[in-house]
């Protein structure tokens, strides 16, 4: 049933695309003929780009991903695309016209025979009915296949002539990787400084106090041993916290679900964790997901005055059955909002997610709520 519905949707889209494409092809042919002497005019280029954007929407392509729509000049790839698609549009309209003619003739033949009248001097007989039925089915199949094929060729042509230039795309990718690498180095340095501050301002000071207490107890103050024992316990707790923030050891052995449960237990604000993962993601993705949740929960508890934090983690299935699958991480709190994506913690998370070619978004309007979303590819 699903296959039939998908086939009907594809045929319907192909028919609609072909009909509209035939009309726009004729309009674009007139446009090209009339504007041929004025191709250097900026207004002609702008009009050509508007036509190309309309074609991209007709073919259900994303105009934002077709950089030639905004970058190409009036005599460039956009005009070449409009000229190249004119015969395709006419071909699609012709195939649709043949489909209409065939359907009309089939309806007239069936009507005449139902009324007991001959059609074009032919009376129904079993061999003739079988011949016409088989022939009509084959012609219908060819017409529909032609419409689908024209639509596929048009989409391919649009991507080829309007899509990003391969060299420019490669240069952008190199620039993105260079920026991502610089961001990772900055994030590592920032994390090292944070660990140093945690050790110096917290654990080191507590150990100094513990040493002083032990020294005083050795000089005849045995009642201070209980206080020294308490300081030692606090130092151990802080050391575990620092080590856990560097890298949670339980993440490797227990998995992301249990590690996030630990984050919820240590939070001073109630945290609800919904972790639905069919398969265990790669270690790098798992680690990034953990730190996104950990930093977001910490920020909400410290700065947002939140009463409840909700963490959602689940897998997104790729279109090809899993090869492009990703892990979605969403952390939402009911605090006052106003989180700044450029802040130290969130910008570090953005760099960590970008290093995996993921997407990182922060929505935090004044008054709340704050929603942090990360999509981490598993490929």
What is the per-residue pLDDT across 95-124, written as a single tens digit (0 to 9) for each?
999 989 988 988 888 888 888 888 777 888
pLDDT in the model for residue 165: 65
For residue 239, the surrounding DSSP H or E stretch is: helix 224-246
Is the per-residue pLDDT at 29 higher than 80? Answer: yes
Is the per-residue pLDDT at 323 higher than 50? Answer: no
Query: Angle formed by the axes of helices 126-162 and 42-58, to 10°?
Result: 140
* Rounded mean pLDDT, 169-190: 69
Mean pLDDT of the chain: 79
Specify the range with the lowest mean pLDDT, choosing from 155-159, 231-235, 245-249: 245-249
The arrangement of secondary structure in 254-379, i.e. its CATH architecture, is 2-Layer Sandwich (3.30)
Strand, helix or coil at 240? helix
Per-residue pLDDT band for 196 (boundaries 50, 70, 90) equals low
The full 3-state SS of 326-338, as one line of letters, equals EEEEEEEECCCCC
CB 328 within 8 A of CB 300: no
pLDDT in the model for residue 74: 42
Per-residue pLDDT band for 187 (boundaries 50, 70, 90) equals low
Q: Which residue has the higher pLDDT, 193 or 137?
A: 137
Per-residue pLDDT band for 332 (boundaries 50, 70, 90) equals very high
pLDDT in the model for residue 373: 92
* Domain ranges (residues) in the chain: 2-164, 175-246, 254-379
């Amino acid at each position: 049933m699903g296959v039939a519905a998908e086939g009907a949707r594809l045929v319907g889209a192909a028919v609609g695309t072909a009909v509209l494409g035939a009309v726009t092809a004729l309009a674009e042919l007139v446009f090209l003929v009339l504007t041929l002497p004025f191709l250097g005019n900026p207004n002609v280029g702008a009009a050509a780009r508007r036509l190309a954007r309309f074609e991209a929407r007709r073919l259900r392509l994303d105009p934002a991903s077709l950089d030639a729509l905004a970058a190409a000049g009036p005599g460039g790839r956009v005009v070449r695309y409009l000229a190249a698609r004119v015969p395709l549009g006419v071909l699609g309209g012709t195939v649709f016209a043949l489909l209409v003619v065939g359907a009309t003739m089939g309806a007239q033949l069936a009507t005449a025979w139902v009324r007991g009248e001959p059609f074009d001097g032919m009376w129904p007989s079993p061999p003739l009915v079988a011949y016409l039925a088989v022939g009509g089915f084959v012609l219908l199949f060819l017409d529909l296949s032609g419409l689908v094929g024209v639509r596929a060729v048009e989409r391919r042509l649009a991507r080829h002539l309007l899509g990003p230039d391969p060299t420019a795309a490669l240069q952008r990718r190199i620039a993105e990787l260079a920026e991502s690498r610089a961001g990772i180095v900055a994030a590592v340095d920032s994390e090292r400084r944070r660990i140093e501050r945690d050790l110096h301002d917290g654990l080191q000071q507590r150990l100094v106090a513990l040493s002083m207490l032990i020294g005083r107890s050795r000089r005849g103050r045995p009642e201070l041993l209980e206080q020294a024992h308490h300081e030692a316990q606090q130092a151990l707790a802080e050391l575990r916290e620092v080590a856990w923030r560097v890298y949670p050891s339980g993440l490797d052995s227990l998995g992301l679900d249990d590690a996030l449960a630990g984050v919820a237990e240590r939070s001073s604000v109630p945290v609800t964790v919904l972790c639905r993962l069919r398969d265990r993601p790669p270690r790098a993705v798992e680690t990034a997901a953990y730190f996104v949740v950990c930093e977001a929960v910490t920020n909400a508890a410290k700065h947002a005055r939140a009463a409840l934090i909700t963490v959602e983690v689940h897998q997104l299935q790729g279109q090809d059955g899993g090869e492009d699958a990703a892990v979605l991480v969403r952390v939402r709190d009911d605090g006052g909002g106003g989180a700044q994506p450029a802040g130290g913690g969130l910008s570090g998370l953005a760099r960590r997610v970008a290093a995996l070619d993921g997407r990182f978004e922060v929505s935090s309007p004044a008054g709340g709520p704050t929603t942090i979303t990360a999509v981490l590819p598993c490929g």
